[in-house]
Structure formats: structure tokens, C-alpha cells
Amino acid sequence: MDRRLLTPEGVRSLLAMLREDGFRIVAPSLVGGTVSLAEISDLDELAVGLALEVAPGRTRVVPSPAMFGSIGGPESLKRWQHPSQRVIWHGERGKNGFTGSAVVEESAGPVAFFGLRACDLAGARVLAKAIRRPLGEQDLVISVRCTSSAPTCFCTTMGTGPDVPEAAADLILTEVLEPKPRFVATAASERGAALLGRAASKPASAADAAAADALVAKVAADMPVAFAPEAARAALGTPSGIGWEDIGARCMACGNCTAVCPTCFCTTVVDRTDPAATVADRIMRWDSCYTPWFSEMHGGSVRSSISARYRQWVSHKMSWWWEQFGTAGCVGCGRCIVWCPVGIDIRKEVEAAIERSTAHV
Amino acid sequence: MTARVAVFKFASCDGCQLSVLDAEDELLAILGTIDIVEFPEARTLREPGPYDIGFVEGSVTTPHDAARIKEIREQCKVLVTIGACATSGGIQALRNMADVGIYASQVYAHPEYLDTLATSTAIADHVKVDLALYGCPVSKEQLVETITAVVAGRRPDLPSHPVCVECKARGTVCVLVANGTPCLGPVVRAGCGAICPSYARGCYGCFGPCSTPNVASLAGAWDGAGVPRSTLIRALKGFTVGAPEFQEAVRAL
Ligand code: SF4
Ligand code: SF4
Ligand code: SF4
């Protein structure tokens, strides 16, 4: 596809046009002392020139030379694809007895997702497969390719980034800072091309395009490979109960990792009735393999220890997910590392499991 | 048929009973299915048992109360403890780690008139409890949910997992990770709706320990946030100081 050059103002104008077209805008925004994806009602809420300084269990907002430099915020597309709570069935007691039916979710309008990274899009694909719910057909995706990475990123290990496959987005932007800030834009769908055609742009020169690609290639080259995914799949496929005591002592089973993970999809269902006992709702909401009741059966929980719950989580992500859905359940976004209050690093735990499994042979 | 409901008070501040009254919107609908026959905070008329549901507020701090809770248990089909005092002994359980005689002599001119136990204990330490509502005070939503569920004959939705689960579900940014604000959320029982973090402050633990609290690990995160250990110990010695999990953690820290 041919590539165009946009100014920073040109990028803003894209978003302004989308708003005029009636899209809800989800974009990086400064919320709760961090930069994260959020629905914004005004373009001034866009987090511009801010990034996150990220470490296991810690983030701080810092200024960034790049317009859209932040990586690692807690929210992913899951918030919109798979809301934390929704009513799936509703029943009422009326004159003619009790009637109930499934609740079909009403769309709050098409969403334009702006600033998504390669791992975000991979996460949405993996989640869509698990819950059989892709993004809405009317939704639009503008991706920003990574020209920097966080120390918690391992997309190259999981084969999900940092480059963005064209099939994953409508429009793909790459921010080039030198000699002056500009965006190389690739329309990746007809709708993306139509949108780009409405903004003031000029053709990107071969040098501009090469500069953009080089930045993304450098991110890929500089990112250390965390472990071999095939080795992880094998090591955690028939997990041994040995060697998990240490993680059991550190993990708090707080469920933050599963909540921020773009692909963790487990839910529970609860029934609610009104005090007058005339209305009943069945509510589906996020659950986590770390909650005590997740594995509850008659007689109690089959994974009562925290180490057993951690083992379940990491084994599903890295191994059993393959059998279930044909990919790994992890896209290497690093959110679980960043937002674990005690900074547990899945890369290290996987590495340790691989080491243990080879030691046992 | 309406369920006969009673509310009983032990050593407490009455705040949880006020939570019942605070559920005014739901109360009218509830009153169609239940009959509140005993409720010291709301009415003077008292009716004898047996009761279908008995709510117990407060902890056991006197020999008289230790005997009274046994009688109440016999009168109640379903016994529900409400609040930090009833579920863990309340702030008054600070005496459990001290000498109640010294406390009493500092507060009362004539402590010899007092007939008090050396400890403040949870209701479950004395009788079998069917359901427990935690918090200081209890959550109005959990209260309404519990009455509604018991009347409808279903299991009430009362989680035992940590506050973090609710915090993330509502989309609050973690104050501990994003700001280094000490938060007890990872070891504290959910049910409040993660109110404190949504106001950018840490959870201070009024719901008491979650089902498998790992305080030793959380202590590391508080260290990392530059908080002295003495602050963590004080935080654990709050409204649910009497919870065995927190007492053990304090001893180990
Ligand atoms: S397991 Fe962790 S790194 Fe992998 S996709 Fe989930 S949050 Fe991202
Ligand atoms: S790994 Fe971290 S975030 Fe996940 S449950 Fe354990 S302590 Fe919580
Ligand atoms: S703010 Fe507190 S309760 Fe919320 S996720 Fe962080 S540690 Fe857990």
C-alpha cells in the first residue's frame, strides 16, 4: 500500500473527523495517575507527550519526546470486547407467571480505537477466539507501531510484535521524531484509506518509510528473547507439582494479573433478585483462576493453595491454550508484570519451569 | 409468608444498624417480604423469637453477652453477623493484645464497677454463624443482597477474594503500582466495591482478611513503596485487629 505522511495536527484531525462521524473514541489518556486506554469525550483528554516509566509492580508517568510513547497501561481492548460485568438473562414475575429471556447487548455505538500496539491487537485476536466475540464490525482501529519498548515487553518472544500486520488494523501509524515529528501512515483497509484520504497528507518518501521501518526493526532487535515458547509449552504441558513453593510464597492470589491480561477471559455467573422477588437477573462477570471459588467443587476448592493457582494460570497461558485455541494464551504485553503489586515476572517463572523440567529429565 | 427478622446489638458503635436504616430505597421493597420484629436502633417495641433471620452486630466483651448470644442462636433459623465487630471483634479487640485492666483504669473513674472479659471476640467464636457480612460498616448492597437471597432461598453473592478483584473490575487504576500508595487491598476481603482506591487512597482493611491473605508478600511491596514496617503493623491493627490471620501476620512481621 502506498504510504502517506501526516503532521501531528493531521493525526489530531483524524480523530476529530472520527468524532464527527459519530465514533466513540478510545485512546491513551491520563487517568488515575497513569496513562491507559480510556474512552475520551474530548480530544484534549488524549495523553500527548506522556509515557510510562515501567518496572515490575511499578509505573510512573513521565514526559516523553514522542506524542504517543506510552506502553504498559492497565487497560486493553478486553474492557470493551469483554466487559467486566453484564446482564445475560433477565426474568420477571408478572400477571401471567414468570417469563425470562436472554439479554442481547445493545451497542453504545461504534468505537474508534486509537493508539493500539501490535500486542494489543494480538491480544484482541486471541481473546476473540476464546470468547467468540471479535470487535464490532463498525469499530475502527488505528494502530501506532512501537518505536520504543518497555523493559516488561516480550512480544518478540511470543511472535506478536512490534510490527503490526496489515490485516489487524484499518490505519497504521509510525511516529518519526527526527528531524521533526511526523507520522508515516499506512492505510490497511478501505475504511482506513477513506479516512486517511480526508486528512491533509502528502506522499511519504522512500526515506521516510525506511526511517519508520528502521525504528520498529530496532525495537524488535533490541528486545531480549525471554524464553523459547515451544519449550514453555512442553515444560508446562504436564506440569509437575514440584518447585512451585517459592511462587506460592510470593504470589498473593490477588487476581490483578488476570484482570489486566488482554486474553484472560474466565467469567463466573451470579443470580440476583430484587427484594420484592419479582425480578431476576443472571449476571456474568470476570472471574479469575486466583479466586478461591474458581475451582470449587463439592467438598471444597481443588486448588486451595496459591502455588496451585499460579501453576494453573501460567500453564494455561503458555501450554494448554495451544490445544484449546491453536495459539499461546500470552501475547507478551507485560501487563501482568507491571500491574502485579509484588512485581511477579511471568518470564522468570516460565524460565524457572523450563529449567525444572529439563533438570528432571 | 413474611420472614420474621431480628437485629441484635452487642459491643459496637451501632454503625452497622444504621447501614440497615440507610438502605431506605430498598427497605420499602424489603418490608413487603420481611417483618422486622426486633431492632433496637429503629424501634422500642420488642417481640420474642423464634426468628427466621437474626442479624448480630457487635462483639462479645462481657460474660452476660457470652450467655446472651447462645440464647439468640437458639432463637434464629439463619444467623448473620454484620460488621467488623461481629466478625472479628472490632477495634475493641485491641485489648486482646494488651491488658484490659490497664485500659479500663485509664477510661473509667471506677473500673471496679465493670464486669468485662479480657478479650473482645467474634460471634463465630461463641456460636455457629450461617452468613457473615464484613466491613466497618457493612455494605448496604451486601445487606440487601443477603436478605433478598435468604428470602428467595438462594446463595447470597458474598465474595471472599481480595479487594483487587473489585478494584480492577470497576477499572480503578492501582494506587500501589501507579503511585506507591500503600494499599491493603491484596489481603483484604472484597465486598465494599473497592471504594478507597477509587478515591486514590489505599484500602485500610475494614473488611478484614480475604480467604488466603499473603501479608508477608504484601509487606515487600509496602517496603518497596518506602513505608516503614511499623505503619503496616498499625494498618493491620485496625478495625479487624482481632482477625486471627492479621494477628498472626503482625506477630510474624
Ligand atoms: S500473560 Fe501477561 S504478558 Fe501475557 S498477554 Fe497476559 S498480561 Fe500480557
Ligand atoms: S502473580 Fe501477582 S498479580 Fe497475579 S495473583 Fe499473584 S500477586 Fe496477584
Ligand atoms: S489499589 Fe489496592 S485494591 Fe486496588 S488493585 Fe491496587 S492493591 Fe489491589
Per-residue DSSP letters for B42-105? T-S----S-EEEEEEESBB-SHHHHHHHHHHHHHEEEEEEEHHHHHH--GGGGGGGS-HHHHHH
- Cα angle B120, B124, B126 (rounded to 5 degrees) comes to 70
Residues B131 and B87: beta-carbon distance below 8 Å: no
CB within 8 Å of A358: residues ≥ 6 apart: A235
| CA separation for the pair A188, A197 (Å, rounded) | 13
Nearest CA in chain A to B185: A254
Residue A333 alpha carbon, nearest atom of ligand 1: 8
Its CATH architecture, for the domain B3-152, is: 3-Layer(aba) Sandwich (3.40)
Tell me the CA–centroid distance for residue A313 and ligand 2, in Å: 10
Residue B86 has pLDDT above 80, yes or no: yes
- Measured distance CA(B152)–CA(B49) in Å, rounded: 21
The answer to whether residues A269 and A131 touch, using CB atoms and an 8 Å cutoff, is: no
3-class secondary structure, A315: helix
Instruction: Give the side-chain half-sphere CA count within 13 A for A301.
Output: 16
Q: Is B188 in the pocket of ligand 3 (CB under 6 A)?
A: no
What is the reported pLDDT for B21?
85
Residue bearing the CA closest to ligand 3, atom 2:
B185
Domain borders along chain B are 3-152, 163-252
- Written as nine digits, the cell of B23 is 438502605
Tell me whether 0.85 is exceeded by the ipTM: yes
Q: Report d(CA B166, CA A256) in Å as an integer.
A: 10
Query: In this complex, is the C-beta atom of B224 within 8 Å of any C-beta atom belonging to chain A?
Result: yes
Contacts of A301 in chain B (CB under 8 A): none
* CB contact at 8 A, B230 and A350: no
What is the band of B38 on the pLDDT scale with cuts at 50, 70, 90? confident
Residue A240 pLDDT exceeds 90:
no
The H-or-E segment that residue A229 falls in is helix A229-237
Tell me which chain A residues have a C-beta less than 8 angstroms from the C-beta of B211: 292
Grid cell in block for residue B82? 454484620
Is B135 exposed, middle or buried (CB count within 10 Å of its CB: 0-12, 13-18, 19+)? buried
**From the CB of A168, is ligand 1 less than 6 Å away?**
no
The alpha-carbon gap from A275 to the nearest alpha carbon of chain B, in Å, equals: 5
User: Kind of pairing, strands A24-31 and A34-40?
Assistant: antiparallel
Cα–Cα nearest to B134, from B162, B104, B106:
B162
Q: CA–CA separation, A92 vs A144, rounded Å?
A: 47
Side-by-side strand order, sheet with B34-38: B34-38, B3-9, B51-57, B76-82, B131-133
Instruction: Say what the pLDDT of residue A35 is.
Output: 97
State in Å: Cα B162 to ligand 3 middle: 9
Does residue B4 contact residue B35 with C-beta atoms inside 8 Å?
yes
pLDDT tens digits along B168-214 = 999 999 999 999 999 999 999 999 999 999 999 999 999 999 999 99
**Number of the ligand 2 atom closest to the C-alpha atom of A346:** 1
* pLDDT exceeds 90 at position B238: yes
Residues of chain B with C-beta less than 8 angstroms from the C-beta of A298: none
* B154·A271 Cβ contact <8 A: yes
Residue B44 pLDDT > 80, yes or no? no
Q: How far is CA A243 from CA A45, A246, B159, in A?
A: 47, 7, 30
Q: Is the pLDDT of residue B97 over 90?
A: no
- Please say if the pLDDT value at position B45 is more than 80: no
pLDDT averaged over chain B?
Answer: 93
Q: For position A1, what pLDDT does the model report?
A: 60
A132 Cα distance to chain centroid: 16
Quick one: CA dihedral B240, B242, B248, B253, positive or negative?
A: positive
- For residue A73, which of B183, B167, B174 has the smallest C-alpha distance? B174
Whether ligand 3 lies within 6 angstroms of the CB of B84 is answered as no
Among A254, A270, A293, pick the best mutation site for testing chain B contact (most B Cβ within 10 A). Answer: A254
Proximal ligand: closest to the CA of A72 = 1
CB proximity list for A49: less than 8 A, separation 6 or greater: A63, A64, A65, A66, A67, A69
Residue A199: closest CA among A171, A176, A219: A171
Q: Is the pLDDT of residue A59 over 90?
A: yes
Identify whether B159 is preceded by a cis peptide bond (ω within 30 of 0): no
Q: Are B43 and B90 in contact (CB under 8 A)?
A: no
Distance (Å) from the alpha carbon of B249 to chain A's nearest alpha carbon: 14
- As a whole number of angstroms, the distance between CA B41 and CA B36 comes to 12
Q: For chain A, what is the mean pLDDT?
A: 94
Q: Is the CB of B173 less than 8 angstroms away from the CB of A34?
A: yes
A327 DSSP assignment: S
Residues contacting A110, CB < 8 A, separation 6+: A22, A23, A24, A136, A138, A139, A140
Query: Which three three-digit cell numbers place residue B80?
Result: 448473620
Q: Which residues in A lie closer than 8 A to residue B220 (C-beta atoms)?
A: 250, 342
Q: Which residue has the higher pLDDT, A95 or A331?
A: A331
Give me the pLDDT at residue A360, please: 57
Q: Locate cell 521533526: which residue?
A: A180
Interface contact B32-A256, CB threshold 8 A: no
List of chain A residues whose C-beta atoms are within 8 Å of the C-beta of residue B175: 32-33
Report yes or no: B147 at the A interface, CB cutoff 8 Å. yes
Give residue B37's pLDDT. 87
Statement: the pTM of the whole predicted model exceeds 0.90: yes
pLDDT at A30 over 70: yes
Give the C-alpha separation, A28 to A32, whole Å.
12
Per-residue pLDDT at B1:
65
Distances (CA, A) of A209 to A173, A182, A323: 11, 11, 39
pLDDT bin (cut points 50, 70, 90) of residue B249 is very high
Per-residue confidence (pLDDT) for residue B36, from 0 to 100 = 86
A361 has a pLDDT exceeding 70 = no
CA–CA distance, B168 with A264 (Å, rounded to integer)? 13
For chain B, how are helix, strand and coil distributed in percent, rounded to 5?
45, 15, 40
Handedness of CA A55, A58, A64, A69 (dihedral sign): positive
- The answer for residues whose C-beta is within 8 angstroms of residue B185's C-beta and 6 or more apart is A254, B162, B163, B164, B167, B176, B194, B197, B202, B203
Look up residue A43 and give its DSSP letter: G
Per residue in A184-213, pLDDT tens?
999 999 999 999 999 999 999 999 999 999
β-pairing, A202-203 with A267-273?
unpaired
d(CA B114, CA A235): 65
Burial B240-253 (b: 16+ CB within 10 A, else e): bbbbebbbebbeee
Please report where in the chains the cell 477513506 appears, as a residue. Answer: A194
The reply to whether ligand 2 has any atom less than 6 angstroms from the CB of A340 is yes
